[in-house]
Amino acid sequence: MPDESQDAPTQRFEFRPDDPDLAGEGPFREAGGDAASRLPSRYVVEAEIGHGGMGTVYRVRDRILRRRIAVKVLHVSLAANEESRDRFIEEAQVASQLQHPNIVPVYDVGLDGADAHPYFTMRLVDGQTLTEILARRAREGSPSLVRLLQVFLDVCRAVHYAHVKGVLHRDLKPDNVMVGPFGEVYVMDWGVAKLVGSAAEGVSTREKDRKESGVVSSRSISGEATWDGVVVGTPAFMPPEQAEGDMGSLGPWSDVYALGAILYKVLTLRAPYTGDTASEILRRVQAEAPTPPREVRHDVPRDLEAICLKAMAREPQDRYPGPDALAEDIQRWFEGVQVRARPVSLLERAGRWAHRRRYPLSVGVVLGLVVILAMPGFLRRRLALLRPQVVVVGVEPGSVAEEIGLVGGDVILRYGDREVESVNELAAAIHGAEASGAASVRLVLRRDTALLERDVRPGRLGIRTMNVRLYLKEK
């Protein structure tokens, strides 16, 4: 069947009661079974896309608006139960007032007359649940942990928004997180949500003041209490206080625990608690701390393990105060700074500092190596300048010095195999060569930066010199 929401041109639509397409005679009218058959004729049921304890979700085509949407219909077996009907309508009322990019918007609710079968319509979300995505990661190694943590951050932001509005989800789990084909993330199924007033206890005063209003429902207005002593939610992902049926003690910290349990499965690809029956899992949740993630998978980063275990602390006061604080610590891990869940040593802190600044440090190391390699030659040149030297100041006309080409500024470094350190030493060397009958004395000179050699016959050299030590003239 072609997708009319994509292909049909925009046109003015006139409602005609005798239009067969609006009279419920389409080929898919009975596709959803008994509950779906009770929907108004404007909705053509195409397929069942999910079901839970309260109702079934169908993909339908809206004949009037010519688009595909999702419809959740209360189970037929629960339709006559007033408590079930009220809870179902409350889910629609709560979800419709949570206007956030990561929460599926509710369009309308069907509640016409005492005998009407309740349903509500909402955006059709294409994609996979987080459970399906984690199963794919277990098989194929993708998506990456970083991408999954980005999804998790979106979930935290949506739950924090709900808390600011005074709503606890109470059934957070991977099955209730949907990820669309373009990266959209949605927190689903608010069927067991709890309203805790105009703003959730534990939310900052600044956020209470900033929000426009809390979420209300027919049940909250009538003052109906929640069911203490009754366990609601999914055992493997619920906090100990919820597993004990103590609904009055639930708060933002309870959803934080469930978020930590989701993070646990993201890190380890398994639920924090397992068992053959729901009762066994509930017993373990009440009595045991979860196995540390690194004992399940050794490649789990230590900081993420610490964040997960803090969120899943047994005592509510030991957990993060809200989803925003949990998300902030995940963001700190992304940025490579110290997370609040785990103190680190000075050495590890230095290593993280170096990692965050690895590119400037790499340049610094290269420059440092260049300096170290150049240092010996530089020091040799400096030490050569600091040694005592004999500098030619002038040359007497007709002298041996003029004959061999000495000029003012030449530095006499060596004679024979010895370094020249004073004028007297040079004179004594030349005199000694003359006395011994040597034909010449070999001198090594520095003129500017060039080294020169000259053979000088014994006799009066005929130069005026000065001794230089540290660039000071010696007497």
- For residue 153, give the 3-state DSSP assignment: helix
Contacts 24+ apart (CB under 8 A), 400-408: 400/456, 400/457, 400/459, 400/460, 400/461, 400/462, 401/456, 401/461, 401/462, 401/463, 402/462, 404/454, 404/455, 404/456, 405/454, 406/445, 406/454, 406/463, 407/447
The active-site residue, picked from 154, 171, 324, 410, is 171
CB atoms within 10 A of CB 355: 10
CB atoms within 10 A of CB 42: 15
Residue showing tokens 């209470």 = 208
- Is the backbone of residue 262 left (phi > 0), alpha (psi -120 to 50) or beta? alpha
Six token digits for residue 48: 């069942």
CB atoms within 10 A of CB 293: 27
- For residue 391, give the 3-state DSSP assignment: strand
Residue type, 172: L
Six token digits for residue 125: 């979300």
Residue showing tokens 């509930």 = 282
Residue 455 annotated to the active site: no
Six token digits for residue 261: 């349990």
Q: Please check whether residue 32 is in contact with residue 45, taking contact to mean a CB–CB distance below 8 angstroms.
A: yes
Give how far Cα 377 sits from Cα of 68, 146, 365, 381, Å: 79, 50, 20, 6
Q: Please check whether residue 174 is in contact with residue 265, taking contact to mean a CB–CB distance below 8 angstroms.
A: yes
Residue showing tokens 């079968």 = 117
Residue type, 422: S
Six token digits for residue 280: 């066994």
What sign has the CA pseudo-torsion 295, 301, 302, 305?
negative
- Positions marked catalytic: 171
